Chain A
Amino acid sequence: DGGITQSPKYLFRKEGQNVTLSCEQNLNHDAMYWYRQDPGQGLRLIYYSQIVNDFQKGDIAEGYSVSREKKESFPLTVTSAQKNPTAFYLCASSNSGSQYFGPGTRLLVL
């Protein structure tokens, strides 16, 4: 079954804690992306990667980090430096045409 998976569906973060959101795709896409969506808003690009072992900052990269060690995986770490992390996080991948999205992770701060 081809697609993009994100885990967990819900994630709770304590103050000062780093948390990692998982994104996996089996579509053989080269490019992968992370977006943040705040309530009633559009999507803002955090980081993207066009090829393994390479990634670029998006519009709101501060307080986030990523890695791209495998083509299939693009995990996002929300660090303690991100002071307002509560949001819905969407991962996407692209075949140099359309982007396809995972189901998202809802991050909440305790």
Chain B
Amino acid sequence: AQTVTQSQPEMSVQEAETVTLSCTYDTSENNYYLFWYKQPPSRQMILVIRQEAYKQQNATENRFSVNFQKAAKSFSLKISDSQLGDTAMYFCAFRNRDDKIIFGKGTRLHILP
């Protein structure tokens, strides 16, 4: 079975610091997509960043970047210069060949003033 594991249920960092959220996944597929979604208190799910497995270059979106290690099946999210608005639940997700997306259980991130 394909699974996504987020080993950090909750994290707190000071504003302006850098934080890294961990994610590992398990699949036998070779081509797939990986995502990080943010869910703020409004509960709206917002796509933060995505990575195609066939691309070796790590994806970046402004202050958000990933460290994609395909062999290790690891997909961590780095948030630089963290801001109060980054406070949210963050979900790592994997899209398989059947177009289904499997989500991890999430990491609750608190940015402290």
The chain A residues found within 8 Å of chain B, CB to CB, are: 31, 33, 37, 41-43, 45, 48, 50, 58, 88, 90, 92, 94, 96-101, 103-104
Contact = CB atoms under 8 A, between A and B. Distances in A.
Interface of B: 33, 35, 37, 42-47, 50, 91, 95, 99-101, 103-106
A interface secondary structure, majority: strand
A31 B95 CA distance: 13
B50 A98 contact: yes
A42 B106 contact: yes
A104 B105 contact: no
Of A33, A90, A97, A98, most B-chain CB atoms within 10 Å: A98
A37 B43 CA distance: 10
B24 to A, nearest CB: 15
Contact of B99 (A37, A43, A90, A96): A96
